[in-house]
Amino acid sequence: MDIDEIISEIEGGRGYGYERYVTVGGVNIRYAVKGDGPPLLLLHGFGEFLETWDFNFHFLSKHCRVYVMDLPGHGLSDKPYLDYNISFFTDFVIGFMDTFGIDHADIIGHSFGGAIAVSVATSFPEKVDKLVLESCFGLSNDISLLHKLCNIPVMGSVDTTEPAVMSALEHKARMEFYNPDFVAREMAGMSYRFMQMTEAKRVMLNIMHNWVGVNGLKPEVVMVDRLRLIKSPTLFVHCEQDKIHPVELSRKAYHLIPKSSLKVFNECGHCPHIEKAAEFNEAVLAFLELG
């Protein structure tokens, strides 16, 4: 399957029907926007794409103007050769907001996107009204063995078309869900198609090298010490059965932010916005005071 076929399948089979492209900082970004009212940005996790917000985008757009995107290096957005460090993604979010004339917004960040959201909220506090940190990455220096292995240079020689890669993505999906049903399998399938795109593997390894060292997260990615700097009201969302980032991390972290609260779901893994979509959406609306 060549790149044109991949794009056609993804946009035709799963697209919202009105996805667009915009240039931010010289990078062509795929995005979608819907709704009226206060702006809300949704930042997806590592190796993910805007379709992972399918169960939230349309519902939340009934109450606010929702922006979803493939972050740089992800999905169908451009994958230029550069350093994908935390500062780059922070500046990208601000650039995205400036491109659309958004002076300030609410932000939801899932996992990797949560770390980016924290960086934005602490570097540009005037830009963030309210913050939702879902299964947030960077709440501890300790990371899984899988993340450490991905940082080994030899991993760059892995062929992303091999069946082993698909098996690894399916395993990742099973790790992320309490009930690894068809949704998890579909996400693994989409991830596999994205990983076949030119430069996708290089970008993912680049991010790991910029964010992870042999002893854990690099200092600039550890968000714990930065939490006290957050001025925005903040909602932590986590699940009891999260195998990627333990719920205890959010239980400890939310006490470090003056205006914060914690919502914990049961029988749910790393992606409550998918597995507990209805409850997640209602919790977000209540927090944003939009329901």
State how beta strands 234-239 and 27-34 pair: unpaired
Identify the structural domains of the chain with CATH numbers, from first to last.
3-144+219-288 (3.40.50.1820)
Give the list of residues 6+ apart from residue 276 with CB closer than 8 angstroms, or none: 239, 265, 268
pLDDT band at 200 (very low <50, low <70, confident <90, very high): confident
pLDDT value of position 4: 46
Distance CA(177)–CA(244), nearest Å, equals 10
Distance CA(291)–CA(62), nearest Å, equals 10
Query: Around Cβ 30, how many Cβ atoms within 10 Å?
Result: 23
DSSP 76-129: TS---SS---HHHHHHHHHHHHHHTT-SSEEEEEETHHHHHHHHHHHH-GGGEE
pLDDT value of position 154: 40
Angle, CA of 32, 131 and 49, to the nearest 5°: 35
φ, ψ for residue 109, nearest 5 deg: -125, 125
* DSSP assigned state of 69: E
* DSSP assigned state of 213: E
Model pTM? 0.88
Task: Give which of 83, 93, 101, 99 is closest to 124, Cα–Cα.
Answer: 93
17-54 pLDDT, tens digit per residue, is 568 999 999 999 999 999 999 999 999 999 899 999 99
pLDDT value of position 167: 65
91-142 pLDDT, tens digit per residue, is 999 999 999 999 999 999 999 999 999 999 999 999 999 999 999 999 988 6
H helix and E strand count, the chain:
11, 10
pLDDT value of position 96: 98
Task: Give which of 58, 117, 89 is closest to 235, Cα–Cα.
Answer: 117
137-164 pLDDT, tens digit per residue, is 999 886 654 455 454 444 444 454 556 5
